[in-house]
Amino acid sequence: MDEKKNENLEGDVTNQHTGESWYYSDIAKDHFFNPRNFLADDENEEDYDAMGMIGNIACGDVMKMWLKIEPKTERIKKLKWRTFGCGSAIATTSMFSVIVTENGGLTIAEALKITPQKVTERLGGLPNRKIHCAVLACRAFRKAANDYFCKTGQEKRIIKES
């Protein structure tokens, strides 16, 4: 019994320097081990209408997203991604792609309203030190949306990063 209790106290990941334990929901672990909408090596990046990339020097995460847009409605038909980073970065990018493409896909305007909190909630939570991964996913999408706006002559819709 005590062994099981200690196992639970260790968390899913323990920082070797601080001893801090991080716990991940089953949903977050599933998106890390079985990511959705990942851009496979045999897929052509040129088949997409827009691309956005963001990186965080402090943690080393880099996220890249590709969008396939239905021009008349601006509905996102596909969102593919590749992320170089930790499990939280992979899980948040995967979940973001699910939120954007489920039920026939959101419009660009709807997807731009997705918050890091929404992504984190859908993952069943993240360790506090990993919330920035959800922020990066939203920012990578904004970069891709801005790329689409540039390519379609909609410069007035470009979102400036603060």
Positions marked catalytic: 59, 133
DSSP string for 139-153 = HHHHHHHHHHHHHTT
At 64 the three-state DSSP class reads strand
Q: How many CB atoms lie within 10 A of CB 13?
A: 16
Q: Which residues contact 118 (CB under 8 A, 6 or more apart)?
A: 99
Ordered alpha helix ranges (H), the chain: 2-10, 26-33, 87-101, 108-111, 116-122, 131-151
